Amino acid sequence: MPRQQYTPEQHSVRLLKVGERVRHVLSEIFARQQVHDETLSAHSVSVTEVRMTPDLRTATVYVKPLLGVDEEDVLTALRHNTAYLQKEVAKRLGLKFAAKLKFRADESFDEADRIDKLLSDPRVKRDLGEQGGD
């Protein structure tokens, strides 16, 4: 049976859909505290994004503990429990292959805070005010 060919647009949509399904499964596992780990049980972990590789074999999972507390400890615990989480994701999604999960800290919130601080700088406000008057 020949392999189904996808257009670039379909391929992109498929990656987004699978990534979103993986994100939902992981979020559900964390919300129900189904990982038997003291660190993960003590923290509320948010899965903010999942990016899949084109072959769907690897998923980069961006996570953020509530309030950003003990981020390194949470990442270490997630990496320690990767095998269990991969097995659960594959089982719940019915995927042919268990995607390898790579956990990363989500830095987008820190970047947004940095931009907010820059925009609230008096010098930037002054420059923006001058532009608005033109």
Give pTM, 2 decimals: 0.74
Determine the pLDDT at residue 102: 95
Q: Where are the beta strands (DSSP E) in 11-121?
A: 45-52, 58-65, 100-105
First to last CA, the chain: 65
**Is residue 86 situated within a structural domain?**
yes
**Is residue 53 situated within a structural domain?**
yes
Report how many domains make up the chain. Answer: 1
**Is residue 51 situated within a structural domain?**
yes
Could you list the residue range(s) of the whole structural domain that residue 26 is in? 8-106
Mean pLDDT of the chain: 82
| Residue 50, beta-bridge partner list | 61
Determine the pLDDT at residue 1: 39
Q: Residue ranges of the chain with pLDDT lower than 70? A: 1-11, 68, 109-111, 130-134
**Is residue 1 situated within a structural domain?**
no
**Is residue 28 situated within a structural domain?**
yes
**Is residue 16 situated within a structural domain?**
yes
What is the distance between the alpha carbons of residues 42 and 74, in angstroms, rounded to a whole number? 9
**At 94, phi and psi to the nearest 5?**
65, 35
CATH number at residue 14: 3.30.300.20
